[in-house]
């Protein structure tokens, strides 16, 4: 038998996408910076023109899960990091928006088999959100750590999937056209 756990080394082959809500971008841009700081210090090239991290901006947190799922289906990424800020004081829809985003992000991961990190702050006030996005600590750093760990762990658990999806392959890069649930390998294929 064996013990499996993600590591934070050997990050060169890993590919990530950040999906970021523009709503409350005072907060979400800080979360992006926290993510970049963490990824950089673990050897990941976070340059948007580089080969390891893509950035996708959406109007608000509600749109994040749909795009995260689409990116996960592309097979290009080892993990998707979802960033947003839903602030209670700003909307009577707080409960609906935050619940749907949480459910959607979870579904995106389950449906695709790709780690999709829940990095959406849900707070009562803007002050609380800012405190979690750099004033006291930056949760963007934590979300990136979760992504690194899960990306590494999933590569260990399902090496054949990564070979089939070829996130490193130039054939897949720059194209989402193969995105379809039908392209997901069957369980039996994964183990073959």
CB 181 within 8 A of CB 113: no
CA distance 146 to 118: 9
Count of beta carbons in the 10 Å neighbourhood of residue 175: 11
97 scored as a contact of ligand INI (CB under 6 A):
yes
Instruction: Please report how close the Cβ of residue 59 comes to ligand INI at its closest, in angstroms.
Output: 4
Return the range that interacts with ligand INI (CB under 6 A); candidates 6-14, 40-48, 54-62, 173-181: 54-62
Site string for ligand INI, 3-32 (x = CB under 6 A): ------------------x-xx--------
Instruction: Please report how close the Cβ of residue 17 comes to ligand INI at its closest, in angstroms.
Output: 18
Distances (CA, A) of 48 to 36, 51, 72, 105, 120: 11, 8, 18, 23, 21
Return the range that interacts with ligand INI (CB under 6 A); candidates 81-89, 108-116, 134-142, 155-163: 81-89
62 scored as a contact of ligand INI (CB under 6 A):
yes
Two tokens at 63? 């749109």
Burial of 153 by CB count in 10 Å (0-12 exposed, 13-18 middle, 19+ buried)?
Answer: middle
Contact positions vs ligand INI (CB under 6 A): 21, 23-24, 59-63, 84-87, 90-91, 93, 97
Q: Which residues are catalytic, by number?
A: 93
């Amino acid at each position: 038998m064996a013990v499996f756990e993600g590591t934070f080394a050997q990050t060169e082959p890993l590919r990530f996408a950040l999906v970021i809500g523009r709503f409350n971008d005072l907060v979400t841009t800080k979360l992006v910076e926290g993510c970049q700081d963490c990824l950089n210090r673990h050897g990941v090239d976070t340059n948007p023109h580089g080969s390891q991290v893509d950035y996708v901006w959406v109007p608000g947190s509600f749109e994040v899960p749909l795009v995260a799922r689409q990116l996960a289906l592309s097979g290009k990424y080892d993990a998707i990091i979802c960033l947003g800020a839903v602030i209670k004081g700003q909307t009577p829809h707080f409960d609906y928006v935050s619940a749907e985003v949480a459910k959607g992000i979870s579904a995106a991961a389950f449906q695709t088999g790709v780690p999709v990190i829940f990095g959406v702050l849900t707070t009562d006030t803007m002050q609380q959100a800012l405190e979690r996005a750099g004033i006291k600590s930056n949760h963007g750093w934590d979300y990136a750590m979760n992504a690194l760990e899960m990306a590494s762990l999933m590569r260990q658990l399902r090496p054949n999937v990564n070979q089939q999806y070829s996130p490193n392959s130039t054939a897949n890069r720059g194209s989402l056209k193969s995105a379809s649930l039908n392209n997901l390998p069957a369980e039996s294929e994964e183990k073959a």
